[in-house]
Amino acid sequence: MTSQDQKPKPEFYRRVLPDGCIAFSSTEGKEIFKEALVSGHMCCYFKMAAQFSTQAEPAFCGLTTLVMILNALEVDPGKIWKGPWRWYHEDMLECCVSLQTIKEKGITYDQFVCLAACNSLEAESTRIDDSASLETFRDHVIRLSRQDDRFIALSYSRKTLGQTGDGHFSPVGGYHPGRDLVLVMDTARFKYPPHWVPLATIWEAMKPLDKSTGKSRGYCIVSKIHKDGSLRLFKLSNSFNVFLPCACTSGVSTFVYKWRECLTKDVVAMSSAHTDHVKPSDNMAIYERVVPSLLNSAGCIAQNECILTTFMDLANFSTEHHALKKSLLQQIECLELYSIVQSVLKSATSRSCLNIGSEGENKVMTSDGGCCGMSSSKRTKISDATLLPAHFIAVFILCWPYELYKVTGTVTVGDKMDSYVTKWMESTTSKEIKDEISQLKRQLLVLLKMRSTNLRQCDPATSRSKPCMTTTLCSVDK
User: Long-range contacts: 47-51, Cβ < 8 Å, 24+?
Assistant: 47/72, 47/73, 47/148, 48/72, 48/151, 48/171, 48/173, 48/185, 49/173, 49/185
Burial bucket for residue 178 (CB in 10 Å: 0-12, 13-18, 19+): exposed
CA-based nearest residue to 42, from 52, 51, 32: 32
Which string of DSSP letters, residue by residue, matches 150-211? EEEEEEEEGGGGT-SSSEEEEEEEEEETTTTEEEE--S-TTT---EEEEHHHHHHHT-SEET
Q: Which of 21, 61, 248, 399 is catalytic?
A: 61
Q: Is 186 a catalytic residue?
A: yes
Residue of 96, 110, 118, 168 marked active site: 168
Q: From residue 49, give the alpha-carbon distance in Å to each of 70, 172, 183, 218.
A: 13, 10, 11, 22
Smallest CA-to-CA distance from 451 within 229, 219, 236 is with 236
The one-character DSSP state at 108 is -
Question: Is residue 220 annotated as a catalytic residue, yes or no?
Answer: no
Q: Under 8 Å CB-to-CB from 334, ≥6 apart: which residues?
A: none
Backbone angles phi, psi at 476, to 5 degrees: -70, 120
Give the Cα separation of 116 and 80 in Å (integer): 19
Three-class SS of residue 309? strand
41 is catalytic: no
Rg (CA), the chain: 25
Distance (Å, whole) CA 110 – CA 96: 13
CB atoms within 10 A of CB 25: 10
Q: How far apart are CA 389 and CA 363, in angstroms?
A: 10
> Cβ of 46: how many Cβ atoms within 10 Å?
13
How far is the CA of 368 from the CAs of 49, 67, 420, in angstroms?
Answer: 39, 27, 30
- DSSP assignment string, 202-256: HHHHT-SEETTTTEE-EEEEEEESSTT---SSEEE-TTB-TTSTTSB-HHHHHHH
Q: Could you list the active site residues? A: 61, 168, 186
